[in-house]
Structure formats: C-alpha cells, structure tokens
Amino acid sequence: MGNFPGSFARERIYVSTTDTFDAEADLDFIAIEAVINGDPVRLTTAEKIFAARFLDGRGMTPSAIAYLIRSTAHTVRGWKDNGWKRRDSATPPPVKEREEPVCGERRMYRRHLAAGESCDVCRAANTAADRRYRLTGSTEEAA
C-alpha cells in the first residue's frame, strides 16, 4: 500500500501560497494540504481530484495517491484518464458533497478567517454559537 518516495513523507507540501480556497470550484486548499501531508481530513470529490492531480504531477503512483486521499487506485486512474474530471456516472456519488457555506455559518466564518476577511454577520453568528455552546453544550440553535 505505502510506496512513498522517502523524500515525500518528510517534506511539508504547500498547495497554494496565496489562496486558501477556490470559491468557484469549492476547493479548500487547507483541507487538501492537510490530506496531502497525511492528516485525516475528509475531502469533497472535487478536492480529492485536485489533490490527486497535484500528487500525480509530483510523480506519485495512483495507489499512493489513493492511500492519502482515501480513495482507490482504480478511481485515481479513472480521473486521470478522464483529464482529471469526475467520471460521468448514472449513479449519484456515494459521498454527499459539502454545500457552499453562506454568511452566518461557522464554516463561512472560518473561511473568512483563513482569507483574512472580516465579516460582521459571521462574527456575530460565531459569537452567538459560542454563547449557545457555553449555555447548552451544543452549537445548534434550540428547536
């Protein structure tokens, strides 16, 4: 399974130095980078394909890529054969895609933080969620 080139495992790899996400493609570079460096993070299919393409470009084998992104070598080869696009399939993807975060969600708040942006809506929502958590032990709004 492993098949890591020795230098690869020790080297911290940075996917992007300027962007932390690609809003158009919904790519979370921080998550991709974490996975590439062996951290257990769940990626969307688009993010897995991005990571696979990136790693393939660095000469990694499909099985080594599959191990990192928690997919199969068969799937990785399929993406590559398809020009690094998801294969058209009659069956829906088994993993539910994350939806684009909107202002007022904690995920959007974290995205603002990562991008160095300031957003009153998200900051207020995050503060409210923190307060809720301290009071109720849950970040969910009471039903």
The C-alpha angle 50, 116, 10, rounded to 5 degrees, equals 45
Q: Name the E strands within 4-90.
A: 21-22, 27-28
Instruction: Supply 102's token pair.
Output: 């909107």
119 in contact with Zn ion (CB under 5 A): yes
Residue placing its CB nearer to Zn ion in the complex, 53 or 110? 110
Instruction: Answer for the pair 126, 120: CB distance below 8 angstroms, yes or no.
Output: no
Residue placing its CB nearer to Zn ion in the complex, 95 or 128? 128
**Least Cβ distance, residue 53 to Zn ion (angstroms):** 30
Instruction: Answer for the pair 20, 29: CB distance below 8 angstroms, yes or no.
Output: yes
Count of beta carbons in the 10 Å neighbourhood of residue 86: 14
* Residues that contact Zn ion, how many (by CB under 5 A): 5
- The owner of tokens 């590439």 is 36
- Binding span for Zn ion by CB under 5 A among 15-23, 24-32, 34-42, 118-126: 118-126
103 in contact with Zn ion (CB under 5 A): yes
- Binding span for Zn ion by CB under 5 A among 70-78, 86-94, 100-108, 133-141: 100-108
Instruction: Supply 86's token pair.
Output: 């998801």
Q: Which of 27, 69, 122, 129 binds Zn ion (CB under 5 A)?
A: 122
Residue placing its CB nearer to Zn ion in the complex, 22 or 105? 105
Residue placing its CB nearer to Zn ion in the complex, 49 or 108? 108
CA–CA separation, 80 and 101 (whole Å)? 29
Residue placing its CB nearer to Zn ion in the complex, 73 or 113? 113
List contacts with Zn ion (CB under 5 A). Answer: 103, 108, 119, 121-122
